[in-house]
Amino acid sequence: MVNNFEDLLTLCDKYDIAGPRYTSYPTALEMNDSKAREDRSALIASRPEQPIALYVHIPFCHKLCYYCGCNKIVSNDQFKAERYVDALIKELQQLGDSISGRKLRSLHLGGGTPSFLTSSQIARLMTAIECSFSKSQVFEASIELDSRSIEVDYINLLCDLGFSRLSIGIQDTDESVQNAINRIQSSEHIGDLVRRAKSLGFKSINADLIYGLPRQSLVTFKKTVDDVVQFGFDRVSLFSYAHLPRRFKAQRLIATDELPVGHDKLKLMLSAQRWLAQAGYREVGMDHFALPSDELAQAAESGSLNRNFQGYTADPDIDLLAIGVSSISDINGTVLQNDKALKDYYASIDGGLSPVAVGFDRLPEDLLRGWVIKALMCQFKVDKRQFAAAYGVSFDRYFASEIEQLSDLMEDGLVSNDEVELRVTHRGLLFVRRVAMAFDAYLSAKRQPAFSKVV
Ligand code: SF4
């Protein structure tokens, strides 16, 4: 972490331009309809020995959070989820023999709000998943929870169904901030959920926090971080609020004049980093913190940290199959996204068609650049010998012009470059996305407004 605050302010003014978060390379923006209705079965079947990571997207939420930029459907009609679970099961059946008997290494339920599903709905979904795959010896199931929509006993149900990791969206525990973002939740209840999960032996519990929300101050955010530490979360994701009201309609309900901006927002982030470090959390990749006992911190320490469409993971790089509306699969170099609108997704599934709407095949050049970008995002460095061994070319020769583009960052001490490695320095960690952008062949100035800034 960079300590000199004035120094950072100057660097932020210079380098904090909008850029991708690189959960994939190329980014999802490169998807096109050449892959529409692609049958994923053949792709999956091409590597029968490979284990699979399964992602299931649940788009429903009970209430609209004003900061939200996700693909979600706000509803209180539980019947909608019943119909949706039917569609997910049909999607699994469509994949049929290609997944039958394949080892399932991990399962993640994301959203939206996966805990929108009632106990019978989630149990039905899990039974269908279990019947479709065989579990690998190493199997982890994780789920995102909204504390407002569940009772404490829901944690027991998740435990019985085989879940061992939880992620709880907290964002901020201050009442005034919660009012401003329309996400009012009880800290006491969150504490109860975490305690129950720990007593049942859950391996890892993550808290999502957001800085830059309306009405946040150093005082309120310190209390939020203290609460999270006191609840005993193993991991903390600390995200920057990107106010893009033209793109996300819900954000128009946020009072712009209540937002901490510029240096005030930067102070929130730097202070939260410091408070988490003081509480014993280690910085993992970009925006993430974990206790040393957590698998994510250990993966960062050992150099095996990985990154995929769900963010940082300790899981190895394996095929990611995603089901549900708008979900993104990444199988053997091909990226495929399902229909983004629920009505289109239902029409595909009910019509017996593949729900894939867009996608792309990674080209050899994409794989090579993606390798470099992932190394920067996960290890903050590129080992030039490893690169040469993997791709048979010299890093310095192949990327001579990209290295040249980084000369300003090198002069400012944010990047170091020698014969062995290109490294983001301690002082430059905050700007890792900016470094990765130099290796992105698709990036153009006109696209940058589609991305958020670092701070
Ligand atoms: S932030 Fe999460 S819970 Fe809130 S509306 Fe968005 S997806 Fe739903």
Predicted confidence at residue 48, as pLDDT, reads 85
Residue type, 275: W
Residue 374 pLDDT exceeds 70: yes
Q: Mean of the pLDDT values across residues 4-18?
A: 82
The confidence score (pLDDT) of residue 261 equals 87
Count of residues making up the chain: 455
pLDDT for the residue 449:
54
Rounded to the nearest angstrom, the distance between the alpha carbon of 143 and the centre of ligand 1 is 14
pLDDT reading at 68 higher than 70: yes
pLDDT tens, 182-191? 999 999 999 9
Give the chain's end-to-end CA distance (angstroms, integer): 14
Least confident segment among 8-22, 57-71, 172-186, 330-344: 8-22
| pLDDT-derived band at 13, boundaries 50, 70, 90 | confident
Please tell me the distance from the alpha carbon of residue 88 to that of residue 249, in angstroms, as a whole number. Answer: 28
pLDDT higher than threshold 80 for residue 46: yes
Q: How far apart are CA 152 and CA 156, in angstroms?
A: 8
Q: Quote the pLDDT of residue 453.
A: 67
Q: Which of 130, 89, 131, 84 is nearest to 111 (CA)?
A: 84
Is any ligand 1 atom within 6 A of the Cβ of residue 146? yes
Cβ atoms of residues 190 and 178 within 8 Å = no
Q: What is the atom index within ligand 1 of the atom nearest the CA of 67?
A: 1
Residue 398 alpha carbon to ligand 1 centre in Å: 43
Confidence check: pLDDT of 375 > 80 = yes
> How far is ligand 1, taken at its centre, from the CA of residue 275, in Å?
26
Q: Which two tokens stand for residue 155?
A: 């944690």
Q: Whose CA is nearest to atom 2 of ligand 1?
A: 112
**Do β-strands 60-61 and 73-74 pair in parallel, antiparallel, or remain unpaired?**
parallel
**CA angle (434 as vertex; 245, 422 as ends), nearest 5:** 160
Residue closest by Cα to atom 6 of ligand 1:
68
Centre of ligand 1 to C-alpha 181, Å, is 11
Looking at the predicted structure, is the pLDDT value of residue 455 above 70?
A: no
Sequential DSSP letters for 1-57: ----HHHHHHHHHHH---B---SSSS-GGG-BGGGTT--HHHHHHT-TTS-EEEEEE
Three-state secondary-structure class, residue 434: helix
Cβ(70) – ligand 1 distance below 6 Å = yes
358 CB less than 6 Å from ligand 1?
no
Which tokens is 414 given? 């944010």
Task: Indicate if ligand 1 lies below 6 Å from the C-beta of 113.
Answer: yes
Cis bond upstream, residue 201 (ω within 30) = no
Please say whether the beta carbons of 20 and 448 come within 8 A: no
Mutate to test the pocket of ligand 1, among 58, 60, 61 (most ligand atoms within 8 A of CB): 61
Tens digit of each residue's pLDDT (9 = 90 or more) over 209-223: 999 999 999 999 999
The predicted pLDDT at position 7 comes to: 83
Average pLDDT over residues 163-183: 98
Tally the C-alpha atoms within 13 A of residue 186's C-alpha that lie toward its C-beta.
10
Mean pLDDT value of segment 61-71: 94
All domains of the chain in start order, with CATH: 29-319 (3.80.30.20), 364-450 (1.10.10.920)
Question: Once rounded to an integer, what is the mean pLDDT over residues 139-159?
Answer: 96
Give the helix ranges, DSSP H, for 75-137. 78-99, 119-132
Quick: pLDDT tens for 294-305: 999 999 999 999
User: Kind of pairing, strands 306-308 and 311-313?
Assistant: antiparallel
Q: Is 319 in the pocket of ligand 1 (CB under 6 A)?
A: no
* pLDDT > 70 in the chain, percent: 97
349 CB under 6 A from ligand 1? no
- Joined together, the tokens standing for residue 63 give 């209430």
Our answer on whether the CB atom of 285 is closer than 6 Å to any ligand 1 atom is no
Contacts for 320-323: CB closer than 8 Å, 24+ residues apart: 320/52, 320/53, 320/54, 320/55, 321/40, 321/44, 321/52, 321/53, 321/54, 321/55, 321/95, 321/99, 322/54, 322/55, 322/56, 322/57, 323/54, 323/55, 323/56, 323/57, 323/88, 323/91, 323/92
Report pTM. 0.94
pLDDT of residue 1: 45
pLDDT band at 2 (very low <50, low <70, confident <90, very high): very low
Q: What is the pLDDT of residue 10?
A: 86
Q: What's the DSSP call for residue 316? A: -
Edge-to-edge strands, sheet with 235-240: 282-284, 288-290, 235-240, 204-211, 165-171, 134-145, 103-111, 52-58, 319-323, 328-331, 334-338, 356-361
For residue 71, the CA-to-ligand 1 centroid distance in Å is 9
Whether residue 396 is predicted with pLDDT greater than 90 in this model: the reply is yes
Average pLDDT over residues 45-70: 93
For residue 69, the ligand 1 atom closest to its alpha carbon is: 6
CA atoms within 13 A on the CB side of 217: 6
What is the residue with the minimal CA distance to atom 7 of ligand 1? 112
**Is 428 in contact with 435 (CB distance < 8 Å)?**
yes
Beta-strand runs (E) in 120-249: 134-145, 165-171, 204-211, 235-240
Query: Which amino acid, 336?
Result: L
Least confident of 7-11, 240-244, 420-424: 7-11
Summarize the confidence of residues 83-110 as an average pLDDT: 94
Query: Is 64 touching ligand 1 by the criterion CB < 6 Å?
Result: yes
Please give the pLDDT value at position 385: 98
- pLDDT per position as a tens digit, 117-127: 999 999 999 99
| 238-269 per-position pLDDT tens digit | 999 999 999 999 999 999 999 998 889 999 99
113 alpha carbon to ligand 1 midpoint, in Å? 7
